[in-house]
């Protein structure tokens, strides 16, 4: 009988790592707190940089779960150390004794209502990037009449001490540009603004997407962080920012505003970290043994990481790290105990 490995979090990282572990001859026990596997990827419509549909990435993974025991709607009740093993108790009453645990707990989208000055939850026409993705996925038009101007606000809950997130969320810049392009493809007559602090187009083809947004779609990029949003009687929004390159403040009337919510540490992560006695960084993400040399390995025997539990990452980075984590677990389990 093959050895069990517990994988906590059934997003892309957890699924991919489970598949790799299975290929290496282990029996992964994959635990997901939501009713379905797939994490945020299951909600997303299309992916940057080339606009592939998210389900074309996720579906093959979900169809390949043979040999993986997975539990949805399940959380971790407790984890205890017993000699060189971990005893993991699940909320469904089951428990497992394993030598290795993979924490692929992912991220939470930053709660936009925390940036109250943007009026999310107060103004109807302020939505989040995830809600826009829902619309795209449903194929539904924006529910508001007469949308002529929309704005994307970058760095909502990213690079923001006041929001408690100092880190850059890495993916929002390119997501905003992707969504801006998609919006223009659907509604070419709408004027689209992107309010950014720095455009971090770091990945392959990201810059191409940026160029496309400028050249083909005429997306208007304004270098300035939105400071406040007000609303008139008809529900139109007034967005205030400074065009820092021009050096003058702006006040633009908008029909819709999309907040690019960044990645915040997932809710239960610190609790799990406490259960297995590993440190949580100042930013709330998990801390690997070496952020450069051993990003998948925790500073504690038998605990491994994959994906955004250790900080914002793109999908390909997450999948790559999941494979790397599976290999790291394999090597750990095959190395005879030193004690």
Partner 1 sequence: MKERILAAYDPFVLPFVFGITFVIGYCLLALFKVLVQLSPADRRKFALSLITPSAILKNLRDLFCDCLLHVKLWKRNKVLGYMHSSIAFGWFMIIVIGHIETVLYIPERLHKLYYPIFFRFFMEEQKQTLQGSFFFFLMDFFLLIILSGITLAIIKRFRSRIVGMRRTTKLTLTDLIGLYSLWAIFPLRWIAEGFTAGVAGGSFMTIPINWILHNFMSKPENITVAWWAYSLALGTFMTVLPFTRYMHIPAEILLIPMRNAGLPVRHTRKGFTLAMLYSCPSCGVCIDACPMGVQKKNVQDATVYMVRNLKRRNQQRSLEIAEKCLMCGKCASLCQVQMDACGIRLAYRTAQEKKNNRLPADFSYLNAIAPQQVGEEKVLYYAGCMSSLTPVISRSVQQVLQAAGVPFELMDRDGSICCGRPLLLAGRRDEAQQLIEKNRQLIEKSGAQILLVSCAICYRIFKEQYELIGVEVVHYTEYFNRLIAAGRLSLKNSHETLVYHDPCDLGRGCGIYDAPRQALAAVGQLVPALKEREESVCCGGSVGSLTLRYEDREPITRGSIENLTANNPEQIVTACPLCLKTFGRFAPVPVRDFAEMLVLNLETNKNDTK
Partner 2 sequence: MIDFGYGLTPSATLRIENVQNPLFEELHRREPDVVKCISCGSCTASCSAGCFTEMSLRRVILSLQRGREKEILPMLQHCMLCGKCQLVCPRGINTRHLILSIGKVYGLADQKEEVRP
Binds partner 2 (CB under 8 A): choice among 72, 78, 92, 227: 227
- Phi and psi at residue 32, to the nearest 5°: -130, 130
Minimum distance from residue 134 beta carbon to partner 1 (Å): 17
In the list 50, 124, 185, 216, the residue contacting partner 1 (rule: CB under 8 A) is: 124
Q: Is 119 in the site for partner 1 (CB under 8 A)?
A: yes
For the chain, give percent helix, strand, coil, nearest 5.
Answer: 30, 30, 40
For residue 241, the partner it binds in partner 2, partner 1, none, with Cβ less than 5 to 8 A by kind, is partner 2
Residue 292 to residue 168: CA distance in whole angstroms: 18
Shorter beta-carbon distance to partner 1: residue 181 or 226: 226
| Torsion from C-alpha of 259, 33, 326, 65, nearest 10 degrees | -110
- To the nearest whole angstrom, how small is the minimum distance from the Cβ of residue 122 to partner 1? 5
Options 101, 163, 174, 298; binder of partner 1; rule CB under 8 A: 163
The CA distance from 310 to 235, in Å, is 40
CA pair distance 161, 269, nearest whole angstrom:
20
Question: Token pair for residue 149?
Answer: 């101007």
Interface of this chain with partner 2, residues 189 to 208, rule: CB under 8 A? 197
Which of the listed partners (partner 1, partner 2, none) does 121 bind, with a CB threshold of 5 to 8 Å by partner kind?
partner 1
| Location of structure tokens 């390159």 | 245
Instruction: Please state, in angstroms and rounded to a whole number, the distance separating the CA atoms of residues 60 and 78.
Output: 32
Report if residue 83 touches partner 1, rule: CB under 8 A.
no
Closest by alpha carbon to 39, among 112, 130, 140? 130
Q: How far is the CB of 108 from partner 1 (least distance, A)?
A: 16
Contact of residue 300 among partner 1, partner 2, none (CB under 5-8 Å per partner type): none
Q: What span, in angstroms and rounded, lies between the C-alpha atoms of 158 and 215?
A: 28
Q: Does 164 bind partner 1 (CB under 8 A)?
A: yes
Which partner in partner 1, partner 2, none is near 160 (CB below 5 to 8 A by kind)? Answer: partner 2
Q: Lay out the site mask for partner 1 across 180-219 (x = CB under 8 A, - = otherwise).
A: ----------------------------------------
262 lines the binding site for partner 1 (CB under 8 A): no
Query: Before 49, cis peptide (omega within 30)?
Result: yes
Q: CB of residue 102 vs partner 1: minimum separation in angstroms?
A: 30
If one counts every other C-beta atom within 10 angstroms of the C-beta of residue 243, the result is 14
Angle at which helix 54-62 crosses helix 12-23, to 10 degrees, equals: 40
Toward partner 2, which CB reaches closer, 83 or 162? 162
Applying the rule CB under 8 A, the residues between 229 and 248 that interact with partner 1 are: 229-231
CA–CA separation, 104 and 7 (whole Å): 7
DSSP 3-state assignment of 232? Answer: coil
Residue 304 Cβ, how far from partner 2 at the closest point, in Å?
A: 33
Q: How many CB atoms lie within 10 A of CB 208?
A: 12
- With binding defined as CB under 8 A, does residue 123 bind partner 1? yes
Binding mask 84-123 for partner 2 (x = CB under 8 A): ---------------------------------x------
- Which segments of 122-171 does DSSP mark as H helices, in order? 129-138
161 near partner 1, rule: CB under 8 A: yes
* Of the residues 35, 139, 146, 247, which one makes contact with partner 2 according to CB under 8 A: 247
Under rule CB under 8 A, residue 240 binds partner 2: yes
Q: Compute how many other C-beta atoms are within 10 angstroms of the C-beta atom of residue 276.
A: 19
The binding site for partner 1 (CB under 8 A) comprises 114, 116-117, 119, 121-124, 161-164, 228-231
């Amino acid at each position: 009988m093959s050895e069990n490995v517990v994988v906590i979090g059934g997003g892309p990282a957890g699924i991919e790592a489970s598949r790799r572990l299975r290929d290496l001859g282990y029996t992964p026990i994959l635990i997901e707190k939501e009713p379905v596997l797939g994490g945020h990827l299951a909600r997303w419509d299309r992916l940057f940089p080339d606009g592939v549909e998210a389900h074309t990435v996720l579906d093959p993974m979900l169809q390949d779960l043979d040999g993986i025991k997975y539990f949805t709607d399940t959380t971790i009740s407790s984890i205890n150390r017993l000699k060189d093993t971990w005893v993991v108790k699940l909320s469904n009453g089951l428990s497992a004794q394993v030598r290795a645990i993979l924490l692929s707990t992912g991220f939470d989208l930053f709660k936009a209502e925390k940036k109250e000055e943007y009026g999310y939850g107060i103004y109807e026409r302020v939505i989040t990037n995830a809600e826009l993705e829902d619309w795209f996925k449903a194929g539904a038009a924006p529910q508001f009449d007469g949308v002529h101007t929309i704005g994307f606000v970058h760095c909502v809950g990213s690079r923001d001490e006041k929001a408690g997130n100092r880190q850059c969320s890495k993916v929002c810049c390119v997501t905003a540009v992707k969504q801006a392009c998609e919006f223009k493809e659907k509604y070419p007559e709408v004027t689209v603004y992107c309010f950014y602090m720095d455009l971090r187009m770091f990945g392959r083809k990201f810059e191409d997407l940026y160029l496309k947004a400028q050249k083909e779609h005429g997306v208007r990029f304004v270098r300035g962080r939105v400071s406040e949003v007000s609303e008139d009687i008809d529900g139109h929004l007034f967005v205030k920012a400074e065009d820092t390159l021009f050096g003058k403040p702006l006040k633009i009337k908008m029909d819709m505003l999309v907040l690019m919510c960044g990645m915040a540490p997932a809710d239960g992560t610190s609790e799990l970290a406490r259960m297995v006695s590993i440190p949580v960084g100042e930013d709330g993400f998990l801390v690997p043994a070496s952020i450069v040399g051993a990003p998948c390995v925790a500073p504690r025997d038998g605990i491994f990481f994959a994906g955004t539990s250790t900080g914002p990452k793109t999908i390909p980075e997450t999948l790559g790290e999941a494979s790397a984590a599976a290999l790291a677990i394999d090597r750990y389990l095959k190395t005879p105990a030193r004690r």
